[in-house]
Amino acid sequence: MTKNISIYFTILIIMFNFSCGQEPNDKNEIIVTEELNYEMELVFENKGIIWGLEFLNDNSILATVKSGSIIHYKDGVKKELKGVPEIYLRGQGGLLDIAIHPNFEKNKFIYLSYASEGIEGKGGNTTISRAILNGDTLEELEVLYKGTPDSRKGQHFGGRMEFDNENYLFFSIGDRGNRNVNPQDITIDGGKIYRIKDDGTIPKDNPFYNDGNAKKTIYSYGHRNPQGMFKHPESGKIWTNEHGPRGGDEINIIEKGKNYGWPKITYGINYSGTTITKNKSLPNMEQPLYYWIPSIAPSSFEYISSEIYPDWKGSLLAGALVFKYVERIVLEDDIVVSRSKIAENLGRPRDIKQGPDGYIYVSIENKGVYKIMPNK
């Protein structure tokens, strides 16, 4: 027991029903509590939507603004990067996530996900690019992948990125509002998790590499709109969360070649209240590790490994766009056993990252970036 073991007290707020993926038909009550004894410290202000956060080794922050700019914040000074690609700004699409190469100190590679326009008038789709960061300028920008076909729909661009232990880049593209076609069809983009090498080439052990009709970059399919992703520090596996419709947001551990079911199976319903499907499970389709009812609209995902928050270490954090708080999720043997609220009513949390300094940083839409400071 550390001296800080009692830092965080909890009080009962509300109760939600849940099921976990291992026993999807069992209903259990889980108590959602409120975390106390911490402060949200404003690091820097921004009136836009900071969609993605990344840290350089000096703990300076790179922050993507959905409207099309990248902020570099260091030692109290904000600068905008030059050389940002042209952005297709429509609905949920814009400048999305940012990631640095695991060997960034040597190669200076920065990765961006964003919506880009294709043939004029046809709309846009999610794009993954790589560039070299030279000072405050992006140089030698190259597109590594662009989803097709372009669409004028403004929904479900996905856009999260994460490197695994082998330096393969995983990224998501949502179903682009075409749920009846894209997620279950491996010959087209949308509703998928993808895996490429750091230069954009395709690993030959991708699950559909030898399928002549398939998109060879696909790693898993049957997804709706994954906007949270992290690499588990112990297993090395990629974990995601994704937006469901009305109910049925999911946590998934991504496995090679697996079908996660959308929209053939779901715990959600249409926004109108009508049924999407009566099927909660089907053969050869994966169950979520956990699903939310009602939806929280999970916007990001992070694993806490920091010693700064001893009572939180090993927990997961997800932004809850609907309810305007950060949710802390505690698991035992990959079963969710508790949930609690952080930063309630501060605003819509868009991204959450643990920095090199061990502190947790949260971007709040139209306000800026905050640091979670535990009270001593």
Q: What residues are annotated to the active site?
A: 156
Structure tokens at 358: 């061990």
Phi (first) and psi of residue 172, to 5 degrees: -115, 145
| Residue the block writes with tokens 């080439």 | 201
Alpha-carbon gap, residue 359 to 184, rounded angstroms: 39
One-letter amino acid of 296: I
CA gap 363, 178 in Å, rounded: 29
Look at phi and psi of residue 75 and say left if phi exceeds 0, alpha if psi is from -120 to 50, else beta: left
Residue pair 249/241 in contact (Cβ under 8 Å)? The answer is yes
Q: Which residues contact 376 (CB under 8 A, 6 or more apart)?
A: none
Report long-range pairs for 131-136 (Cβ below 8 Å, ≥24 apart).
Answer: 131/83, 132/107, 132/108, 133/81, 133/108, 133/109, 134/108, 136/72, 136/79, 136/80, 136/81, 136/82
CA–CA separation, 118 and 123 (whole Å): 7
Radius of gyration of the chain (CA): 20
Amino acid at 186: I
How far out from the chain centre does Cα 156 lie?
Answer: 12
The C-alpha atoms of residue 315 and residue 317 are separated, in whole angstroms, by 7
Sheet holding 161-163, edge to edge: 161-163, 169-173, 192-196, 218-221
